Structures are given as C-alpha cells and as structure tokens.
Structure 1
Amino acid sequence: MKPFQYVRPTRLKDAIEAVASDPNARYIAGGTNLIDLMKRGIDSSEKLVDINGLPLKKIEKRNGFLRIGALALNSQVAQHKLVLENHPLLAQALNAGASGQLRNMATVGGNILQRTRCPYFYDPVFPCNKRKPGAGCGALEGINRTHAIFGVSKNDPTQSCIAVHPSDFCVALSALDATVVAVGIQGERRIPFSNFHRLPENRPDLDTNLEKGELIVAVEIPDAVFTKHIHYLKIRDRASYAFALVSVATALDLENNRIKSARLALGGVAHKPWRLLEVEKSLVGQPVSEATFRKAAELAMQGAKAFEHNTYKLTLTPNAIIQALKNAVALV
C-alpha cells in the first residue's frame, strides 16, 4: 500500500474542492471497499479526503420522499423506523448484504459506489479492462461462474467487461426509483438511480456517471405503496458474507387479488442493478398466480447471454424471480 495524504475537512465546499482539484484524490467514509482496493494496488490514490466530519447522516421524511444522508451507516438505515415504515424492502436488502461488522462501518454513499468483486479485477496478474482499459478481459475465457448475463460488452476484447455490480442495497434502490443527490463544483445535481450506474460499453473502467469531485450527499426514495407485498431474495454460495449469484428485489401493490403495480430489479446478473421495466408493465392487471409469475420470468430473460461457467444463471434467474414474487404475496 503506497503512502497517501490524509485530510479531514469540516465543510462540504472544502471537501469537494479538495477532490475536484486533484486527479489523485478520493473521498473516504467507511473505507470498507476503498481500503481493500488500495492494499491490493488497484486504487493508487495519493490523497484521501475523509468526509466523516460532514453533516450527512440524517434520515428524514420530507414532502413526497424519504431522504437518507450519504454518511448514514448501513446498519442504522436497516433498523431505522422511517425506513421500516416506508420502504421495508431497503431494510431487507441491507440485512442481506455483507456482515454485521461491515454494515456497522459501511455508509450509504459508499455502498452505492462500491466496485465489482470480479476476481480478475482484484488480481493484477490477470488482464482487466476495468482496471486497465485496453488490457483485455480475463473473465471472458476464464472462470466466469459469477459473471453477467445481461448488458455485457464482449465484441471487442480491448473493451469487454462481464463483471457484475455487487450491492444488494442498490438493487432495492433501483426497484424503488431512488434518486442520487450529488454536489460538485457546479452545484447540486439529482441523478435518477437508473442513470447513475453505467453499463461497460466503451468505458468499462467507469462505474458511474458521477463527474470528478462530485460527492453523494443523499439518496431520496419517493413515497410509494410498497410496504406489504415486498421481498428481497438473495441466492448465494453461503448463508452470510457472500455476494449474490442472483438476487431479486420485488414489490407489488394488490387489489382484489390482482396486481395494480409492480417493481422488479435483479442483482448479480449485470454491471449495474438490472431493472425489469417491461416485466413490471406486463404484471399490471394480472391475477396473483404462479402462472402469471412464470410468464413474467420468461419475459425477464429476453436478451440474456451466458458464458462457459455461468449457464446455470439462465435457469436460476427465472426461478429466483418466480420465488421472489411468490414470497412477496405469500403464495405457497
């Protein structure tokens, strides 16, 4: 781990200027991902700007939405009365992630910004377009068991990336139409969650659409009716402290045993949380039944492409969607 400068500003303006003006500066809060990357030599930041002194921890109900400060700890959010009352899907997703110790350190902003856990990204011995653009993708012909089946870029070996986004929380935020509030040199910007993370395309090294120096200050989740028929299903290799092979965030609003509205997003299958907008539309007006859920799962798999070691996801993913929907409505 290379030496670095450490500063701890107490004003938002000073923190933003410190990072915006220095190409080798990074924000740090809980550090649960960034420090790992620095230890492995993947992140070579020369200045860390500690933002823990900024007033960004508040969780509050505002007119039409719930606002969660970027420095709120994952464990605090998962237990907060306002979250449990208004968006229990968020609590389920957070409790499915990492371990208790990590949730006590990790922040909301850091969770949103965490980088892929692709082993080829983490090991400098192997080529990785995300770590070094143009180097190639070791996962394409390697052990790609945990990798993407949606939104992949693989036609050009110098740009290909089939890594998946690791966050559970982000899958639920995607399903609930959250907005990321960021502040930079040019002022405040609100970014719809669907536009916040990127697909690899021609820049697999970029994870988000944040500009240099922009700091996440909060996430906002609009008021919704999804407080009862919700479920976060996470399928993983072990019961705790494991990233999703496939995860499903689902939320339904029912009337007379028919679906009035639906929200669905997947994790563990793409470079970003994978929202299923067409599937949501197809569910509206349909009866609550296993047949309805099976049709939805079939539609969800359109465009999926597997690699040598992750073909099982083509079966696991639709089955997970069906099970999550059934769990949401307590359909045995």
Structure 2
Amino acid sequence: MADSFADRLLHWYDRHGRHDLPWHHNRNAYRVWVSEIMLQQTQVATVIPYFEAFMARFPNVQALARAPVDDVLSHWSGLGYYARARNLQKAAQSVVEEFGGEFPQSQEQLESLTGIGRSTAAAILAQAYGIRAAILDGNVKRVLARYHAIPGWPGQTRVLNQLWERAEEHTPVQRVRDYTQAIMDLGAMVCTRSRPACESCPLQQDCTAYAAGETALYPGSKPKKAKPEKSTWMIILEDHDGRILLERRPPSGIWGGLWSLPELDPAFGADELQEACERHLGLDCSEPELISGFRHTFSHYHLHIQPARLTVAGGKNAVADRDNRKWLHRHEALGLGLPAPIRTLLTEPEQAALL
C-alpha cells in the first residue's frame, strides 16, 4: 500500500505540484526551517512576501541569532502567533552556540531546539537533507484522516497516534523531499477543508472517506467552546512634537515582547480618561477624541478595543523613555514590532468614523 500511495502521489506532484516556492531556491536547513515555522497557522500566499523580506534581512542563522529582537518582531508583524518569532531567534542562537552554526541532522537534536516539534524537525530532515522522515502538518492530517477514515479530532492523542502511524507507513525512502512537498500540496490544493476536489485526487480510488461519501466527516472537528469576551481602552497619547507613547508588552502572553499602546481599564468612562491618564501616567492631557472601536480575535478570546486619542499638554517627563516605554514619531514606531491592529491605528487612525 505504501509504495502505491507514494508512487501515485509523486506522479501527481510531478505534473501538478508546487515546484517554485521561495524556500525551494537555494534550499538549506535554515530556509526550510523558517518557512516551516511561518507556515504554521498561515497560508502559503500570506507567507511568501514575509519569507522573502525575512530572508533579505536575516539571510542566515548567524544574522538571525545576533539581530535585535525588535528587528525580528518587526519583520514578523502581521503574521500573528508572535511566540513563533521569539522562539525562532532562541533556536537560531542555540544553533550558533551549540552546533557551530550548522543545523543538526538528527530528529532528537532538532527537536531539542526551541519551537521545533516532531513534524517540523522531520520537514527539515526531509526537505533540506533528503533524510527519510515522516511529517504531519495540518494538510497531511486531513489527507490521511480521509484516506484511512480515521475518526476523531487530531488534537486527541489517540487520533494523533493513528495519524503518525499512517504517516510513517506511507513515507518512502526514495524522493522523500518531493514526497513531503507533494502530500502538503495535495492537502492544500486538492484535499481541502471544504469542497475537496476529489475528482482530481490521485488517491481517490482507495480513499475510504470518498468511497463512503463522507469526506466532510474527516478529520473530526475540535469540540467547540465559546470564546470569552474582553474589553480595553487603547490610548493614543501624542505630544506637541507629534510623538506617540508606546509600551513594550511583557515577554510572555498575548503580543509578547511587541510594542503597543498604553491600555486603561474598560471600567473607565470616556469622561474619566483625562483623569485616568493623569493618575496612572502622570500626564496632563486634552479631552479624549474617540475613534470607532473594533473587535480583535485571538486564539482563545475576543478583545473589544476602544481607541481614544489624547494630546499631552505637559508632564511628559513623568513617563520618560526607558526600556519598556518610548516616545516615538509614527515613522519610528512603524519600524518596531507592532501587533497588526496597533500598526493600523497608527497608520490609519481615521479608518472608521469618529464617534
């Protein structure tokens, strides 16, 4: 079965697969690794311009290891899941310090690096070194779950173990680099989440879910749980020189390590913002100008953001520049690692009508 599965998949890939992605050029472990991390939770079309800009700024693991963290986060801004960027740099530093700047060629050593799990390590081995190693990203899980009609949500250990068994079973010794790209391409281009193009699938004749007319049942969905709702004031504080006050967020948690706007408790009313800024920041400000609020969704909750713009009249020295606070002109701020909603607020504050 394994030979037939792999052979048919490779034959399809030779004619229909993606052979010209940016990380296929000058292919090495570093470029494969960065692409794999970027592709987690993110589609290829979105990743391509980020990958190219990242490679231009950090062309090798040494450049990434020694770069300022703000520079790394700035080049990640908009991709989301920012822990990936911080872990990427930590792993780069480990490769330089522990492995002499060369990525190891063993599954165990690769998995010892921050942010690299079993599937990512296997992708590096297969794509960069041509070493037989089974991958299991989201696309591959979907292909295998349907082909073998494996019930249940892949986040469950029992289901995941079955999928790993099948992934190992089907991975060939020959052309493993092409095979790993082929099965990811099949999931992304043919065996899609909704409306899979089964008539174009090279595995259709043996696909258990297709035979039963039940492709929509596989893989099983994650049990749904309502996301909690949270709210915050985000304050755009601008001094008479046109500078904005930014604060660096804590290294862990939402938007960890990024620069953001000061926040105030949503319990404050709009007419209390002036007093709140004076009490909490020592700033004498104008009356607030409210900007239309919006909702930003994280993986585990919704955040209702209500922006307000205030002009600082005095007391700037109460919040002087320091490691976690800076007064910056907008063009300087946009060079830092900013969460996407904050970047939008600083570049397009009038995107919605003023309240």
TM-score w.r.t. the length of structure 1 is: 0.26
The structure in which a higher percent of residues are strand is 1
The structure in which a higher percent of residues are helix is 2
Which has the greater radius of gyration? 2
